[in-house]
Amino acid sequence: MTKSGVIPDELEDILESTALAHIATVGPKGEPQSNPVWFGWDGEYVKFSQTKTRQKYKNVGREPRIALSVLDPANPYRYLEVRGEVEKIEDDPGNAFINEMAKKYMDKDEYPFHQPGDERVVLFVRPDRTTSM
């Protein structure tokens, strides 16, 4: 197991890949909402970026439990689902995290889609349990 104690070692490569994570949250009327996002993995938390105006950010403020799934880019029948909670949210005023993700996913030093006035945050998800195939 990784230092999270939840992610099996043999599946950690999926979290280190450039695959997108499909993040599912609970919407304001109890409906599921799922979107693909860039993400990072530090061995303890799955991290992803949002702006404060996005629905996903509002959803986790109300209900911090989420599920995410990531397909192995080399084998779509191998995947990892992670369930957990957004344990903390940190401001990212200098865009350090989203720039790190732009480097990972696009090989660009700066996130190219930044809009003036965007207030970015980093959401830290602590894995509670996983399923896989």
111 SS3 class: coil
Kindly report the length of the chain. 133
117 pLDDT band, cuts 50/70/90, is confident
54 SS3 class: coil
Per the CB < 8 A criterion, the answer to whether 124 and 89 are in contact is yes
Closest CA to 93 of 120, 116, 65: 120
Residue 25's CATH number: 2.30.110.10
- pTM attached to this predicted model: 0.92
* Enclosing domain of residue 54: 9-132
13 pLDDT band, cuts 50/70/90, is very high
Per the CB < 8 A criterion, the answer to whether 125 and 82 are in contact is yes
E strand segments, 75-115 = 75-91
pLDDT at position 93: 87
Residue 1, domain member (yes or no): no
Domain total in the chain = 1
Q: In this predicted model, what pLDDT tens digit does every residue of 63-75 receive, in sequence order? A: 999 999 999 999 9
Q: What is the mean pLDDT of residues 11-31?
A: 95
